[in-house]
Structure 1
Amino acid sequence: MSHTQTQPMETATETKRWQMPDTFIIIFVVGILATLLTYLIPAGQFDSQQVSYLVDGAEKTRSVIDPNSFAYATDDNGNLVYNTVGLFASGGGIGLMNFPFEGLVSGSKWGSAIGVIMFMLVIGGAFGVVMRTGTIDNGILRLIDKTKGSEALFIPVLFLLFSLGGAVFGMGEEAVAFAIIIAPLMVRLGYDSITTVMVTYVATQIGFGTSWMNPFSVAVAQGIAGVPVLSGMTFRMVMWAGFTLVGIAFTMMYASRIKANPELSFTRRSDAFFRQQELNEQQNTRWNLGDTLVILTVIAATIWVIWGVVVHAWYIPEIASQFFTMGFIVAIIGTFFRLNGMTLNDAASAFKEGAAIMLAPALLVGCAKGVLLILGGGSTEEASVLNSILNSAGSLISGLPDVGAAWLMYVFQSVFNFFVTSGSGQAALTMPLMAPLADIAGVTRQVAVLAFQLGDGFTNVIVPTSASLMATLGVCRIDWGDWAKFCWRFMLLLFVIASVVVVGAHVMGFA
């Protein structure tokens, strides 16, 4: 009897012992490892230089590193300098125990971390108002009812559209807004929130990494490398189509397996939130003029944002403002038509609740940026560990045979993306070094750009330092550990295929 009583306790203890660490714990461990690197690797720096290149007939300039200028920092006695990071730092410095705060307040409204965090809070609040009207719930039920038997079509269509968005205008952060709406739809169709992340954010990164025209990665990298901007378009279009088909096939196989056996889902527990919101499909769902106006407002706002991004290069501040305007208009409509008995006070509460849902992923974004600050913040003009890593990788690549150099360029860009997830930022840091190294190793600069874009795009799917990934996982209520348990197979598949593409492009003399 005693054995019978203690066995469940032992089982529970064993289960808890093997539980995946929370994402915050993982980020903190990464912060500790980054701190240790500051004691092992001396700080180095590059001089910067201005390069000019043409995009759509307009001349662009960018500050990049001078690959021949690297030098380790030394003190007055000629000893190497180590920018060691302690437990604490004052005066705005970075320390292990204050890297979350410094990461949270770093940057500007144009990017990580503070800009991305505020973007997340605003769109979370705006879509909180939209969800409060009940229009999305009723629309999902009607959509499910009208598409019975063809629900699987949602996956390839959505994946294709989001991949195209990533390829054409660098869609990434925008996927967060769509995931808010698509997550409950996928769960109610019998899939899970992982499927939502695949057809939204992951699809954008497939498009981003294989783009033939992305102004934030390919155009910048080619300009810096001295390659004609947007050259090699046909090869990249074929590559985009191939990788997009691979992504669609992988997602559909996974989704069909989950629909057949929901218990196999890594997010079965966290998806309970969306299942609890499910309405009784037997009841008569409300749909009136107010619901129609809400849906039209959301569609119009989406089209308006896409137009602004493509035509006027809108970014975080402008996109956030448009979605806030959408939430404001929906609040007026919902109050006027009393959707779900909505009042202006209810709209205000819904905005706050929607923003509150974004708080946890927003904190992760700040912590991830703090890890980069520990390593030097990505500045080439100040001595840092990151610059030394960059220079050492370049030296290793230059000494390899041409095929090995081409492949290792891809591997290096994939790893370096952990530290600098910005496409244009990584291009400015790595391409001035990789381009001349490609010449030395007998690799065309076009292949060097290809290695950059594949490495920069694909690892955004899994690295916890990606603000867009953590935000999308946050709105879908997926812990990064659960995502990693699912995603590693897909990442391995992408890595193998991308390696073949890079090596194959080199062998074919892609130039």
Structure 2
Amino acid sequence: MKKSRFQMPDTFIIIFFVVLLATLLTYVIQPGVYETKEVTFTQNGEEQTKTVLDPDSFTLAEEKISVGIFEPYGGVGFLNYVFEGLVSGSKWGSAVGVVAFILIIGGAFGIIMKTRAVEEGILSVIARTKGRESLIIPILFILFSLGGAVFGMGEEAIAFAMILIPIIIALGYDSITGIMITYVATQIGFATSWMNPFSVAIAQGIAGVPVLSGFGFRFTMWAVFTLVGIIYTWMYAKSIRKDPTRSIAYDTDDYFRKDFKESDIKARFSLGHGLVIGTVALGIVWIIWGVVKHAYYIPEIATQFFTIGLVSGIIGVIFKLNNMRVNDLAEGFKQGAKDLLPAALIVGMAKGIVLILGGDDPASPSILNTILYGAGNMIDGLPTALSAWFMYVFQSVFNFFVVSGSGQAALTMPLMAPLADFVGVTRQVAVLAFQLGDGFTNMIVPTSAALMGVLGAARLDWAKWFKFQIKFQLLLFTLASVFIITAVLINFS
């Protein structure tokens, strides 16, 4: 059989051409700027303050950005996008904080994998779940969906994917199934949440809607989307288990399958392996406690995972797991970080796209501000249900550039909330359009740091993931459109 000459471009190549397009846009679109103001709202009994744009203050900048080929002295030129993207931001977010987060998590799990505790644990799981493997899919999907809905789980899924994807593959499924029940499940929960503190709560506060209101409609929506996700994943996983070669990830999954050859199928789970697994389990409880109780974020979680890896490595040396010596801690860390380096680089490159367009600060001239203003004018004057639907479409597209839920809320909700009043849509519907648009496209845009980290953990190229995910995205888009229109018809408020 003759192979097709077409080869799907690598993610690095795709981003390069998107940067090129963004550079060309700076020559044809006039950058705009907004004035900003402080808004306050009550969340969990505490007063919160957020800096947002003033929707009536938009003005065009006097000069175009006109990005050059190369800019010296820390400027942003077309060829500067990799470095400037990688060093942008702070330790609290994209890109430099997320890059460090991904590398540290990769290193920590490199140490854990060096002990072989995960592999031995997987073999024990396989032996004890004979005939009941399919139960793993709905149970984990619901748990991860709840994680996204309750505390905005996103980047944390990278670590869980590292643990669970090898298990899922060993059970006869593929890495795509593993990504669906971990990261995709979190984003379904994130998008349909009734209480997510990082998106819906902030958006409601900015829009002047009672924070955490609309519970009934949103909880029903969460249940429906989670059920759809479970059924879709279960049907796909069932077909892959019948014939693993049908998976587009079959070749890359061999990285994990080689640890579970027939000659190695017998588990040799020892006390030392159990202590490592226990350390990981207690560490995850520690992380969840920190996120829920103390709002731990990237710096704290990265250090927590480093601690988990370090303790696991010390246990490995003491119990001589996999013949470990002290230097193997360093080797494991380096190998783990190396494995996730491509994902970390993509995070920086993707941030470079936003920098080329002028950044995402509403108070600084940028192409994104002009796009935001133009979208608002385009929606004005449309029928009510169509206006709400276009709000959803716009939020989905805008999420490519600003993946952060709280960041997108601060940029778009001050404009969409008063626009909703003008076109006859309730502000609650405007918030709904925001959260659905923000959450679902997180599963497919290469600018999502969490997605790229999970794909890195799965050794799966973004182009292959896109090929699989696009059908599911169309299903989610159709169902979300139905919920948006239904919300308009029932005057959801």
> 1:52 and 2:44 equivalent?
no
User: Of 365, 379, 384, which aligns to 2:366?
Assistant: 384
User: Of 465, 473, 490, which aligns to 1:483?
Assistant: 465
> 1:508 and 2:462 equivalent?
no
> 1:64 and 2:75 equivalent?
no
Quote the Cα distance in structure 2 between the aligned partners of 1:358 and 1:333: 24
Tell me the residue number matched to 2:78: 96
Tell me if the contact between 1:35 and 1:85 (Cα under 8 Å) persists in the aligned partners: yes
User: Of 241, 248, 261, which aligns to 2:230?
Assistant: 248
For residues 372-405 of structure 1, give each alpha carbon's deviation from its aligned partner in whole angstroms, at most 9, with x where no partner exists. Answer: 1111110111111000000000011122111110
Quote the Cα distance in structure 2 between the aligned partners of 1:264 and 1:142: 27
Quote the Cα distance in structure 2 between the aligned partners of 1:166 and 1:281: 39
For residues 238-268 of structure 1, give each alpha carbon's deviation from its aligned partner in whole angstroms, at most 9, with x where no partner exists. Answer: 1111100011111111111111121211111
- Residue 282 of structure 1 and its aligned partner are, at CA, apart by 6.4
- Residue 281 of structure 1 and its aligned partner are, at CA, apart by 6.1
| Partner amino acid, structure 2, of 1:432 | P
> 1:34 and 2:13 equivalent?
no
- Residue 271 of structure 1 and its aligned partner are, at CA, apart by 0.9
For residues 198-227 of structure 1, give each alpha carbon's deviation from its aligned partner in whole angstroms, at most 9, with x where no partner exists. Answer: 111111100000000010001100000000
- Residue 279 of structure 1 and its aligned partner are, at CA, apart by 4.2
Tell me if the contact between 1:124 and 1:358 (Cα under 8 Å) persists in the aligned partners: yes
TM-score, normalising length: structure 2 = 0.99
> 1:433 and 2:415 equivalent?
yes
> 1:498 and 2:486 equivalent?
no
Q: Following superposition of structure 1 onto structure 2, how do residues 315-464 of structure 1 map, counting pairs within 5 Å?
A: 315-464=297-446
Moved more, 300-309 or 288-297: 288-297
- Residue 275 of structure 1 and its aligned partner are, at CA, apart by 1.3
> 1:265 and 2:253 equivalent?
no
Q: 1:20 to 1:283 in 2, by over 3 A?
A: closer
- Residue 283 of structure 1 and its aligned partner are, at CA, apart by 5.5
Structure having the higher Rg:
1
> 1:126 and 2:120 equivalent?
no
Tell me the residue number matched to 1:152: 134
Quote the Cα distance in structure 2 between the aligned partners of 1:91 and 1:58: 43
Three-state SS of the structure 2 residue aligned to 1:60 is strand
Quote the Cα distance in structure 1 between the aligned partners of 2:143 and 2:17: 36
Tell me if the contact between 1:402 and 1:442 (Cα under 8 Å) persists in the aligned partners: yes
Q: How many residues are paired up? A: 493
For residues 41-60 of structure 1, give each alpha carbon's deviation from its aligned partner in whole angstroms, at most 9, with x where no partner exists. Answer: 10110000100000011000
Tell me if the contact between 1:137 and 1:279 (Cα under 8 Å) persists in the aligned partners: no
Tell me if the contact between 2:123 and 2:265 (Cα under 8 Å) persists in the aligned partners: no
For residues 462-509 of structure 1, give each alpha carbon's deviation from its aligned partner in whole angstroms, at most 9, with x where no partner exists. Answer: 001111101110110111110011011100000000000011001100
- Residue 272 of structure 1 and its aligned partner are, at CA, apart by 1.2
Tell me if the contact between 1:418 and 1:465 (Cα under 8 Å) persists in the aligned partners: yes
Tell me the residue number matched to 1:19: 7
Three-state SS of the structure 2 residue aligned to 1:98 is helix
Q: Following superposition of structure 1 onto structure 2, how do residues 75-90 of structure 1 map, counting pairs within 5 Å?
A: 81-90=63-72
Tell me if the contact between 2:442 and 2:448 (Cα under 8 Å) persists in the aligned partners: yes
Quote the Cα distance in structure 2 between the aligned partners of 1:215 and 1:284: 45
User: Of 302, 318, 323, which aligns to 2:284?
Assistant: 302
Q: Following superposition of structure 1 onto structure 2, how do residues 183-222 of structure 1 map, counting pairs within 5 Å?
A: 183-222=165-204
Give RMSD over aligned pairs.
1.0
| Partner amino acid, structure 2, of 1:356 | K
| Partner amino acid, structure 2, of 1:504 | T
- Residue 285 of structure 1 and its aligned partner are, at CA, apart by 2.3
Quote the Cα distance in structure 2 between the aligned partners of 1:343 and 1:404: 64
Quote the Cα distance in structure 1 between the aligned partners of 2:291 and 2:409: 21
| Partner amino acid, structure 2, of 1:207 | G
Tell me the residue number matched to 1:293: 275
| Partner amino acid, structure 1, of 2:227 | L
- Residue 85 of structure 1 and its aligned partner are, at CA, apart by 1.0
Quote the Cα distance in structure 2 between the aligned partners of 1:412 and 1:498: 13
Q: Following superposition of structure 1 onto structure 2, how do residues 215-230 of structure 1 map, counting pairs within 5 Å?
A: 215-230=197-212
Tell me if the contact between 2:97 and 2:298 (Cα under 8 Å) persists in the aligned partners: yes
Tell me if the contact between 2:149 and 2:196 (Cα under 8 Å) persists in the aligned partners: yes
For residues 133-155 of structure 1, give each alpha carbon's deviation from its aligned partner in whole angstroms, at most 9, with x where no partner exists. Answer: 11111110110111011111111
Three-state SS of the structure 2 residue aligned to 1:97 is helix
Quote the Cα distance in structure 1 between the aligned partners of 2:425 and 2:159: 40
Structure 2, unmatched stretches of 5+, are none
Q: 1:216 to 1:283 in 2, by over 3 A?
A: closer
Tell me if the contact between 2:358 and 2:365 (Cα under 8 Å) persists in the aligned partners: yes
Three-state SS of the structure 2 residue aligned to 1:302 is helix
Tell me if the contact between 2:31 and 2:65 (Cα under 8 Å) persists in the aligned partners: yes
